[in-house]
Structure 1
Amino acid sequence: MTSGPLIEAVGVSKTFRGGGLFRRGRPVHAVRGVDLAIPRGAAVGVVGESGSGKSTLGRLLLGLTPPSEGRILFEGRPIAGVSRAEWRRLRRHLQIVFQDPFGSLDPRRRVGAQIADGLAIHGLVPAAERAARVDALLRQVGLEPAHARRFPHEFSGGQRQRIGIARALAVQPAFLVADEPVSALDVSIQAQILTLLDELRARLGLTLLLISHDLHVVRHLCDRVVVMYLGRVMEEGPVRAVFEAPAHPYTRALLSATPRLDPARRTRRILLSGEPPSPSDPPSGCVFRKRCLHARADCAETVPPLAPHGPARRVACINEHALG
C-alpha cells in the first residue's frame, strides 16, 4: 500500500476512430489531457453536460478502455502492460456500478449466482461458504437472503441496482466507479440508493468516483468535484469551495442552472449560447471559448492549462478577468 493517490490519471487522452466498414470517419476526442489524482478513501464527483467525457474517464480509470495517450496508475504503478495474473489481481480492486440496472444483470441467471461470480473467479471464498457470503452481501445492501434464488425480472429497478452494488462489493474492491447510478430510477428511489452508497463508502473505506449530471447529488455525497467539458477538465477542487464560489465560467453556468431552495442564495441564470461543439470537431485553444461570455482572441490560440487557483483547487482559464 502506498501513501500517494490510490488511482491517478497522468496526461490521459482517449480518441475513438469513427467510420464504418467501408469508410473512415473523423476521430472523436472523448478525453483530452486529463491529470487527476484520487486519494484513498475520497469521494470524487465528475460533472458536465452530455458528451463531456465523464463516462469515458471512468472507464479509463478502471482499465476497461485503454488510453490513446498517458498512463493510469493504481497505487503508484501503471495498470497497462501487466501480466494476466497481475491484471486479475487489479481487476478485483477496480469495480463499477452501471447506469442501467435492467441491462447490467443476466436475465437467465439467479441473482445469487451472479453475485457469487467474483468470489469464484478470484478465489476469495471456498465454494462451501459462498452462499453465506452472498446472503451477507444482500443484507448489506438492504435485501433479503431469500432474494438470491430469484431472477432479475422479479425485482424493481431500485432493487436491481442494490444487486449490482452487492455484486461489485463481493470482491472487496478498493475503487468503485458509480456511473449515473440513479438516473434510470424513480425519484422516490434515488435518495435511497445514494444514501446506501454513502453509508457503504464510509463503512468499507471505499474510494468512490461518482459520475452524475445532478450537481445536488455530487454536492451531498462527494469531497471533491471535477467539472468536464468536451473531454477536458475545466475546474477541480473541494466540493464546498467550487459550489460556493465557482471560478470557471462554465462551472458558474452549470451551477446557475441548478435550482436552489433558499431564495437568498439563488443566482442569476447564465445562459450559454448554442450547443456544445462535436467532440469530433473541437474548437482550437480553449474548447469552451465558443460559448464563453468572456472569450478573447487569444482563447482560440492557447489551450489553457489546469493551473492552481487557491488551496487544493485548479482551473483551466487564461483570462484572469473571467475567473470568479
Structure 2
Amino acid sequence: MSNAPPLVEATALSKVFHTGGLFRRGRPVQAVRSVDAAVARGEALGVVGESGSGKSTLGRLMLGLMPASAGTVRFDGQPLGRPSGRDWRALRRRMQIVFQDPYGSLDPRRRVGAQIADGLAIHHVGDAGDRADRVAAMLHRVGLDPSHAQRYPHEFSGGQRQRIGLARALASGPDFLVADEPVSALDVSIQAQIVQLLGDLRRDLGLALLFISHDLPVVRHLCDRVVVMYLGRVMEEGPAEAVFAAPSHPYTRALISATPQLRQDRRTGRILLAGDPPSPSNPPSGCVFRTRCAHARPACAEAVPELRPFGEGRRVACLRAEEIA
C-alpha cells in the first residue's frame, strides 16, 4: 500500500442487488462483499477478475454513483453518505469516470466541444470564453486538434473518441478518476496509445486512478498496486509487480497462467479452472473460490478466509496460502 494517506478509502464495502420483477422479489445477489480498498493521490490501483467479479460495481460505489448496502466510502476524509446538493456538487467535480464504450458515452447529436464543456458549466467554471479555452487546451493535452471541438462523435475513430472521453472527464480538474475497461473496445495498436496517455495524465496531474480491466499485462504496466476479485470478494492484493511475479492465491495464479505474456513457466502451461463460476445469488459456503480450486480441502467449505498479510505490502484470502506458495 502507498505510504501516502488515501484520497479515497472503502471500508467493509458491500452491495446487494435484488432480482425479480415488480410483484416478485427474487434472490439477493451480493455483487461486492466486505471489500476494503484505498487509492492515494498520484497512485494507480488496478482491479482485475473475471466478468461478474464485482469490479465495475466497486468502482461505482467508490464514486458514490450508487448507495452501498453496507460499509463506508470516504473521499478526502469525508464520508460519501448522503451529502447535501451543494456538498455533493463540490465532491462530484473532484471525481470522474471514463467508460468502456467511447461512442456510447457521447451524445451523437452534439459537438464534442460542447460535451467537454458540460462539466465546466455545471460547476460554474469560468465564463463561456474561459470554457472554450479550457476545452481547446484539454483536446490538445489528449492529442487532438483543438479545432475538433466543432465536430460530432461519428467523425472520430474509436481511439479518438476515447481521448475525447478523457478530455471530458479531466476538464473539471478531478482528483480521482475511475477508468472502467477504457481500452477493451479498441484495437490492440490503439490500446497501447490510450494506456500510455492515461499513464502520462495520471502522473502529470497527480490523479488517484482506479483502473478496472481484464487485461492483466496492461494493469501490470500501468498500476502501482492490484486488487484481484472473485465473486465480489478480494482474493489477493498488493504491489502489482510483486503479485504478477509471484501470485499467492490459486485464483490469481490461474488468471496469470491464462495470459501468455505473464506466464512464468511455459512448460506447465495454463491452469484450467474446474467447472463454471458459481451463481452470485447462490455462492459456495466458506471460500467462494473453493469449487474451482485444485487446492481446496474440507476446511475451505467451513470458514470464509479473511485477507491477511502475506509478505511485504501484500494480503491474501486463502487458508492454504503458505502450503501452496
SS of alignment partner, residue 275 of structure 2: coil
Aligned-pair CA distance for 1:261: 7.9
SS of alignment partner, residue 62 of structure 2: helix
Q: Evaluate the alpha carbon distance shift between residue 322 and residue 263 of structure 1 in structure 2; reply closer, same or farther with a 3 A threshold.
A: closer
Summarize the alignment of residues 146-185 of structure 1 with structure 2, pairs less than 5 Å apart: 146-185=147-186
Contact 2:257 2:270 in 1 (8 A): yes
Q: Residue by residue, what CA displacement relative to the aligned partner does 1:135-163 show, whole Å, maximum 9, x if unpaired?
A: 00000000011110011111111111000
Structure 1 residue runs without a partner (length 5+): none
Q: Which amino acid aligns with 1:29?
A: Q
What does residue 197 of structure 1 align with?
Answer: 198
Q: Evaluate the alpha carbon distance shift between residue 263 and residue 21 of structure 1 in structure 2; reply closer, same or farther with a 3 A threshold.
A: closer
SS of alignment partner, residue 26 of structure 2: coil
Contact 1:30 1:53 in 2 (8 A): yes
Aligned-pair CA distance for 1:107: 0.8
Contact 2:42 2:206 in 1 (8 A): yes
What does residue 78 of structure 1 align with?
Answer: 79
What does residue 100 of structure 1 align with?
Answer: 101
Aligned-pair CA distance for 1:76: 1.7
SS of alignment partner, residue 25 of structure 2: coil
What is the rounded CA distance, in whole Å, between the counterparts of 2:185 and 2:126 in structure 1? Answer: 33
Aligned-pair CA distance for 1:265: 6.4
Q: Residue by residue, what CA displacement relative to the aligned partner does 1:18-63 show, whole Å, maximum 9, x if unpaired?
A: 1012322111110000011212211111000010000000000000
Aligned-pair CA distance for 1:268: 3.1
Aligned-pair CA distance for 1:318: 1.4
What is the rounded CA distance, in whole Å, between the counterparts of 1:167 and 1:269 in structure 2? Answer: 40
Aligned-pair CA distance for 1:128: 2.2
What does residue 143 of structure 2 align with?
Answer: 142
What is the rounded CA distance, in whole Å, between the counterparts of 2:267 and 2:177 in structure 1? Answer: 34
Q: Residue by residue, what CA displacement relative to the aligned partner does 1:300-324 show, whole Å, maximum 9, x if unpaired?
A: 1111111111111100011245542
Contact 1:4 1:76 in 2 (8 A): no
Summarize the alignment of residues 20-169 of structure 1 with structure 2, pairs less than 5 Å apart: 20-169=21-170
What does residue 210 of structure 2 align with?
Answer: 209
SS of alignment partner, residue 9 of structure 2: strand
What is the rounded CA distance, in whole Å, between the counterparts of 1:169 and 1:260 in structure 2? Answer: 32
Aligned-pair CA distance for 1:123: 1.3
What does residue 295 of structure 1 align with?
Answer: 296
Q: Which amino acid aligns with 2:97?
A: I
Contact 1:236 1:314 in 2 (8 A): yes
What TM-score does the superposition give when structure 2 sets the normalisation length?
A: 0.96
What does residue 259 of structure 1 align with?
Answer: 260
What does residue 284 of structure 1 align with?
Answer: 285
- Over the aligned positions, Cα root-mean-square deviation in angstroms equals 1.5
What does residue 7 of structure 1 align with?
Answer: 8
Structure 2 residue runs without a partner (length 5+): none
What is the rounded CA distance, in whole Å, between the counterparts of 2:221 and 2:212 in structure 1? Answer: 13
What is the rounded CA distance, in whole Å, between the counterparts of 2:143 and 2:103 in structure 1? Answer: 18
Contact 1:27 1:280 in 2 (8 A): yes
Contact 1:248 1:322 in 2 (8 A): no
What is the rounded CA distance, in whole Å, between the counterparts of 2:320 and 2:262 in structure 1? Answer: 32
Contact 2:56 2:212 in 1 (8 A): yes
What is the rounded CA distance, in whole Å, between the counterparts of 1:262 and 1:294 in structure 2? Answer: 20
What TM-score does the superposition give when structure 1 sets the normalisation length?
A: 0.96
SS of alignment partner, residue 17 of structure 1: strand
What is the rounded CA distance, in whole Å, between the counterparts of 2:213 and 2:55 in structure 1? Answer: 8
Q: Evaluate the alpha carbon distance shift between residue 263 and residue 70 of structure 1 in structure 2; reply closer, same or farther with a 3 A threshold.
A: closer
Contact 2:249 2:321 in 1 (8 A): no
Q: Percent identity?
A: 71
Q: Evaluate the alpha carbon distance shift between residue 21 and residue 261 of structure 1 in structure 2; reply closer, same or farther with a 3 A threshold.
A: closer
What is the rounded CA distance, in whole Å, between the counterparts of 2:276 and 2:17 in structure 1? Answer: 21
Aligned-pair CA distance for 1:178: 0.5
Contact 2:49 2:228 in 1 (8 A): yes
What is the rounded CA distance, in whole Å, between the counterparts of 1:285 and 1:263 in structure 2? Answer: 30
Q: Which amino acid aligns with 2:89?
A: R
Aligned-pair CA distance for 1:187: 1.4
Q: Which amino acid aligns with 2:223?
A: C
Aligned-pair CA distance for 1:102: 1.1
Q: After alignment, is 22-31 or 220-229 more displaced?
A: 22-31
Aligned length: 322
What is the rounded CA distance, in whole Å, between the counterparts of 1:11 and 1:284 in structure 2? Answer: 19
Contact 1:4 1:75 in 2 (8 A): no
Q: Evaluate the alpha carbon distance shift between residue 322 and residue 256 of structure 1 in structure 2; reply closer, same or farther with a 3 A threshold.
A: farther
Q: Residue by residue, what CA displacement relative to the aligned partner does 1:163-187 show, whole Å, maximum 9, x if unpaired?
A: 0000000011001010000111111
What is the rounded CA distance, in whole Å, between the counterparts of 2:268 and 2:97 in structure 1? Answer: 35
